[in-house]
Amino acid sequence: MRTGVQQGPEIWIRGPVAVPEPEPARTSGTVRRFSWVGTHGGAGVTTLAAVYGGQDCGRDWPGPGDPPSVLLVARTHATGLAAVLHALEIFRRGQAPAGLDLDAVVLVADAPGRLPRPLTQQVKLIESVVDVYRVPWVQSWRLGDLSGRPPRETEALARLTGAAR
């Protein structure tokens, strides 16, 4: 028998299966940086960049000195979700500036509480084509208080952006 391979059960696997190489350990000092891009005015880009770090690009595409990894941002109202779908279409058609990498969509609650069914259906459509991170309504952010920890519901986003403590 060759070394470095395992024999699998014949009914499931034909032939030897290579043992995957362990992934190299990431250095803890390497944090991936992102460019926050709003798909419409008032999406919350400036607040998210302040809380989670990264480049605030407003409604513009990242420039040459900005991180090429893009997080599209929108509110969860009808206009915001339509704007995200339009931006996703731009990426799908290859019309976004060369070198940009769409990493995810960040949807910021436009009001406290649950989304109405039509908006929930639009969110599911968006989730079917790209990773989506949801940010709940944060009253203190509305009042300009960005201190404290990000909401518990955004732990995955905090890990992605390196803001997890």
With beta carbons less than 8 A apart as the criterion, state whether 77 and 115 touch.
no
For the chain, what is the mean pLDDT? 86
Does the predicted TM-score (pTM) go above 0.85?
no
With beta carbons less than 8 A apart as the criterion, state whether 38 and 70 touch.
no
Q: 């406290």: which residue's tokens?
A: 112
**Domain 32-161 falls in which CATH fold?**
Rossmann fold (3.40.50)
Tell me the per-residue pLDDT of 104-122, one tens digit each, with 9 for 90 and over.
999 999 999 999 999 999 9
Task: For Cα atoms 18, 19, 25, give the angle at the middle one, nearest 5 degrees.
Answer: 135
The domain limits of the chain are 32-161
Tell me the per-residue pLDDT of 43-87, one tens digit each, with 9 for 90 and over.
999 999 999 999 999 999 999 999 999 999 999 999 999 999 999
